[in-house]
Amino acid sequence: MIVKELSDRRPEIVLDVGCGCGNYTLKMLPFCKQIIAIDLQSGVMKRVKNDFDPEKTQFLAMNAAKLAFADSSMEVVCERASLHHIRNYEAVMDEMIRVARKTVLVEEPIGDDNETKKYATMAHDFYLGVQRESGLEHYSLLTQEQLERMAVKLRLSFVCRRKIANKEISFKDYFADYESFAGKTKRKDYWMNELKSFESNFPGSFLPPDGCLLIISK
């Protein structure tokens, strides 16, 4: 959804918050002149930055809750699926809004109490235990209301677009990386048994979370 927005806007400069290994940064590149990509995991960025044109992309290790940029210095500030990996996500959104000159784009998978999405929420929350013990910071999915609250608090105009996920994912595919996370803990057998028990009471496939794109205008 963010790529579509950038293709329509064609901004000069974009700040990509929580870029990770740069997979989505690469998809955004054709639609802007320059991207500054930041992440707290400097080791990951060192491995990928050589794959990018240094004249168009700059990778920086930085805490997203304390952005080292001046107010209104970035034409567009965006993040994709990073906020639910950050405990103090509101501080990050505050900073994104502060440094944005025109637009903030936030794209997240959405937590939902809807009956059709309950298994997606259950699967995500079950995954959190092994991921946290393996060292990955990960929290419950945010709701659309939680995302919108930041714009409301600052009296900024916003639009929220929902992308309905209506194609089921299999249990096996969703938990494809589970054993890798379990292997990074000291209790691999315990976590694998937990997964086996969880699977016995779970459907073979389920609908993944919907996506939500929050567009904040300044």
Q: What is the pLDDT of residue 51?
A: 77
CB 100, CB 76: distance < 8 Å: yes
Phi, psi (rounded to 5 degrees) for 173: -70, -40
Sign of CA dihedral 104, 157, 109, 27: negative
H-helix or E-strand containing 147?
helix 144-153
Summarised one tens digit per residue, pLDDT across range 164-200 is 999 999 999 999 999 999 999 999 999 999 999 999 9
Low-confidence ranges of the chain (pLDDT < 70): 42-47, 49
Q: What is the pLDDT of residue 195?
A: 98
CB 140, CB 111: distance < 8 Å: yes
- Among the listed residues 125, 130, 112, 39, the one whose alpha carbon sits nearest the alpha carbon of residue 82: 39
Q: What is the pLDDT of residue 115?
A: 87
What domains can be seen in the chain, in order of their start residue?
Answer: 1-109 (3.40.50.150)
Q: What is the pLDDT of residue 50?
A: 74
CB 17, CB 92: distance < 8 Å: yes
Q: What is the pLDDT of residue 114?
A: 85
User: Encoding tokens for residue 162?
Assistant: 């929902």
Give helix 188-200 / helix 118-134 axis angle, nearest 10°: 170
Q: What Å distances lie between residue 6 and 28, 33, 45, 196, CA to CA?
A: 7, 11, 23, 42
H-helix or E-strand containing 99?
helix 89-99
